[in-house]
Amino acid sequence: MVSARRIDNAGEKTELVALLRQVERQATQDASLQEIKSHSHIASWRAAYTKFGTNPNKYYSSIESLCRRARRGDQVPYINTAVAIFNYFSLKYIVPSGADDLASVKGDLRLTIATGRENFTPFNAQEIEHPDPGEVIYVDDVYVMCRRWNWRQGYQTRLTPATRDLAINVDCLPPFSRDDARDLTSELAELVRRFCGGVVKFGLLTADRGEFEV
């Protein structure tokens, strides 16, 4: 996980736009993505979704959705700089990544199993939904921030150009090793420093190290 304080998330960075367009083009030419379901970085998420009771043919992980979009030739919009950073990073390494505005987080952040009573508000919607019991969810003390681990992010903690403090997660399953995960997270932290400034740090969350102070 990467946390950053006092960043500048406003405006559009020409260099970052170019990097994003570059990895989009690479995705259209990557032979390993011709059969997206079989790509090792995506197949592991499809297997994980199946294990916690989610149909991966109905609900795509964020990285599968992003790769499918790029393969179709649809440009990923530059919503704001931090979002562009993790979209670029995700496509470059075929790894799920997402972020939350810490100013909107209530209490602690947790990756846990849903009871089905938690509240979730999706983008561009007013009605509150509830996750299915057994879903892996990313949640604070009040709202679900992301359903099905990394399938759909909620509205409350979305990033905006005014975001000053954030936390970015990089979700690594095999074939990524622990060392790979550390290297990836370190590189993502450097990208945030480069394009957003601020005070940036990172840490690795594992089964035996489950806490990180953002």
pLDDT tens-digit map of 142-159: 999 999 999 999 999 999
pLDDT of residue 125: 80
For the ranges 126-130, 139-143, 205-209, which has the lowest average pLDDT?
205-209
Structural domain boundaries in the chain: 2-202
Q: Cα(95)–Cα(184) distance, rounded to whole angstroms? A: 9
Strand-pair partners of 99: 168
Helix then strand then coil, in percent of the chain rounded to 5, is 35, 20, 45
2-202 is classed CATH 3.50.40: yes
Per-residue DSSP letter, 131: P
Q: Is residue 36's pLDDT more than 90?
A: yes
- Those residues whose C-beta lies under 8 Å from the C-beta of residue 52, and which sit 6 or more positions away, are 113, 134, 135, 136, 148, 149
DSSP state of 120: B
**What CA–CA distance (Å, rounded) separates 118 from 116?**
6
pLDDT band per the 50, 70, 90 thresholds, residue 126: confident
Q: If you average pLDDT over residues 72-95, what whole number do you get?
A: 97
Question: pTM of the prediction?
Answer: 0.95
